[in-house]
A = this chain, B = another copy of it.
Amino acid sequence: GNAASGNTTLLSRLAFLNEADKLKSIYRASKLCDGSRHENSAEHSWHIMLYAWVLAEHAEQPVDLNRVLMMLLLHDLVEIDAGDTPIHGKISAEDLAALEASEDAAATRIFGLLPAEQGTAFLQIWREFEAAESEDARFAKAIDRVQPLTLNLANGGGSWVEYNVSMAQLNERVGRKVENGAPAVWAYMKPIVQKWFQANVH
């Protein structure tokens, strides 16, 4: 009956939401602005949703903010199985392929906890983000890269110091992606970041 199938639906949904709670225990390379501890992927996801909303006007092309927010809400859930991969860590092409396969399996498992139709919709949004081809995904990817810049600047270098990053590496792994989705933001941040590297990296 309706009540029984409604209960099955709610049971699946709440199981997914409880599973998602684990993202609060996945820690990233970057630290909070005050440097007191590493940031976890759940609070990071919250923070970059706020970034996306506040900075939406600076997107390279007009974006559908609601879809961007949904992408960012979901984007890191795969880390529950696959872990966080620091962008400044060294990774071989082979390991990268293995990581992508592991993240895709994670997405299938985690979104698979939801009722089928909803799980499929979530999986599609996550895959669109990963593909980084649509306007919305390019902006979402840019935003995901901007926030660690401001954290690192606030806390004395953070993951740049820990991973011994050069300005050339930062340009390649971060700058290009921010420029791709939010060029005005990179134009603003680049000289600030360069100044930090000139003063601190020798």
Q: Which residues of chain A have a CB within 8 Å of any CB of chain B?
A: 6-7, 10, 13-14, 16-18, 20-25, 32-34, 36, 39-40, 42-43, 45-47, 49-51, 53-55, 58, 65-66, 69-70, 73-74, 114, 118, 147, 150-151, 154, 184-185, 188
Contacts and interface: CB of A to CB of B under 8 A. Distances in A.
A184 B39 contact: no
Nearest to A154: B18
B43 A34 contact: no
- Shortest beta-carbon contacts, A-B, top 3: A46-B46, A42-B43, A66-B66
26 contacts: A6-B184, A7-B188, A10-B58, A13-B54, A17-B50, A17-B150, A20-B47, A20-B50, A21-B151, A22-B34, A24-B32, A24-B39, A24-B43, A24-B47, A25-B34, A42-B43, A42-B46, A42-B47, A45-B46, A46-B46, A46-B73, A49-B49, A49-B73, A50-B73, A50-B74, A53-B73
A16 B53 CA distance: 12
A32 B118 CA distance: 25
Contacts of A188: 6-7, 10
Given A13-B55, A17-B50, A25-B34, 19 more contacts: A6-B188, A10-B58, A10-B188, A17-B54, A17-B147, A18-B33, A20-B47, A21-B34, A23-B43, A24-B43, A24-B47, A25-B32, A42-B46, A46-B49, A49-B69, A53-B73, A66-B69, A69-B70, A69-B73
A147 B42 CA distance: 15
Nearest to A42: B43
A25 B155 CA distance: 15
Given A54-B118, A118-B54, A150-B14, A21 B42 contact: no
Contact of A53 (B33, B40, B65, B70): B70
